[in-house]
Amino acid sequence: MRYINKFALPCLALDILFNIDLYFVSFFFFFFEKKKSKLRGSRRKIMKMNKAIAKEERQLKQLENSIERDNLRFEEFLKENEKKSVEAKTHYEEEAKVKQRMNTEIKSEVAKLEETLKDYKRYKELLFKLSPPEWQYAQRVKGLKGKVPSHSDKQEEQMNLENGTEGGHTGLSSPQNLTEQNLSLIQNSSRVEETLEELQQSIEINKRKIEKDEEQIELQIKDMKQRIDKEKVRGVKLEQKVKLHVSKHCFPHEQDVMLEVLSEKVAEVHRSCVSDRMVNLSTLEKLASIESYMSTLMQGLENIPEDKLEMMKRIKDSERRSRYCYILLGKQSARFTRSIYLSHKQNRTTCQSILHHHPRQLFVHNLNSGSNGTTESKACHSVLCDL
């Protein structure tokens, strides 16, 4: 009995300690399972966040591809419009040159014909004065000025001329030749008048044709300008949509970072454009100096030819679009890295809280000291060692 009483108390104490250890181990295992479930939930949230980020990246890539396609189409449309406008301008210039050449030729021909007509009229008046008075009186009565006489009229004139010659009223040697010359001059003057009328009609026809061509060219130019304006409005709308998309996905705590980045960019632009020296100016003052420098540059741009200026503008627009796409990609990558960093930080804090609330060394010592530990305690020991 003494031997039994001697070893009963230590065994009882060992049993109590072992039961306490098992209680603590089971409690820790339950708490660890709870934290493990929380970690699984956080991992699921991280996976969801990663999926959402990947989805946003895909959408951003699709948007960038659509913007690039629209930019390429817009540039092709501008090139086609410029080509058509140049062709229309050259065609219009050629038509104007042809019109001017035809006008000068027609004017020269009209001047020549007017001179010949004046000569013929002068000859006609001279011959009319040289003709006998009876014939003049007969012409005045019949009102045959400027008209070609018929065959019967010719016979009557010849008879009047013969009568006049018989009466001795004329001093000319051959009145028949004079009448023939007079008739030929009258016919020539009538022909000249007919040709003059034809030329005037042809001038009017050509003038109408040229006016119609000018109207068509002006309508084409107006249509091209309207198309260019529509495409510009479309580009502005697309740019606004992109900005709205970026602003929706921008977090509030990133605004300060963006402001800092913008101030750094302003300082960089100020150093590269205005002055290389370090100056103690605020961001607004730097922007004001940059604006004044831009105004001077704009005044200098007025002296540059228009074709070179348009080419420079197109190059700068393409560079600005590419820079904007790179900025969007940088923001998206920064957001992705920040989310990954926050997820890792959250996992680390949960593990540290577990280790802080449950003394690890005591459990490890008890588990190592107990030779008859259960499989559950060994599993907890391995998990704690891993942590």
Task: Quick: pLDDT tens for 229-245.
Answer: 888 888 888 778 767 66
Distance CA 55, CA 64 (A): 14
Please provide residue 276's backbone torsions phi and psi, each rounded to the nearest 5 degrees. -85, -15
Structure tokens that stand for 201 in this block: 């009609």
CB-CB contact of 384 with 364 (8 Å): yes
Backbone angles phi, psi at 146, to 5 degrees: 75, 0
Residues 28/380, Cβ–Cβ less than 8 Å: yes
Give which of 326, 329, 331, 325 is closest to 68, Cα–Cα: 325
The span from the CA of 39 to the CA of 244, in Å, is 36
Contact in structure between 62 and 169 (CB atoms under 8 Å): no
The pLDDT tens digits of the residues spanning 176-186 come to 676 776 677 77
The SS3 call for residue 17 is: helix
Q: Which residues of the chain have pLDDT under 70?
A: 1-15, 17-25, 27-28, 143-176, 178, 181-182, 242, 244-255, 278, 343-387
Please report the pLDDT score of residue 165 as a whole number.
42
Residues 376, 29 contacting (CB under 8 angstroms) = yes
Distance separating alpha carbons of residues 180 and 253, to the nearest angstrom = 112
- How far is the C-alpha of 176 from the C-alpha of 88, rounded, in Å? 63
Tell me if 25 sits within 8 A of 363, measured CB to CB. yes
The predicted structure's pLDDT at residue 108: 84
Per-residue pLDDT, 345: 66
Q: pTM for the full model? A: 0.26
Continuous H helices in the chain: 2-130, 133-142, 151-167, 175-248, 254-269, 283-301, 306-357, 360-369, 375-386
Six token digits for residue 293 = 């420098």
**Residue 279 DSSP code:** -
Tokens standing for 173?
């040697």
Alpha-carbon separation of residue 362 from 156, 295, 369 (angstroms): 157, 76, 10
Exposure of 264 by Cβ count < 10 A (0-12 exposed, 13-18 middle, 19+ buried)?
A: exposed
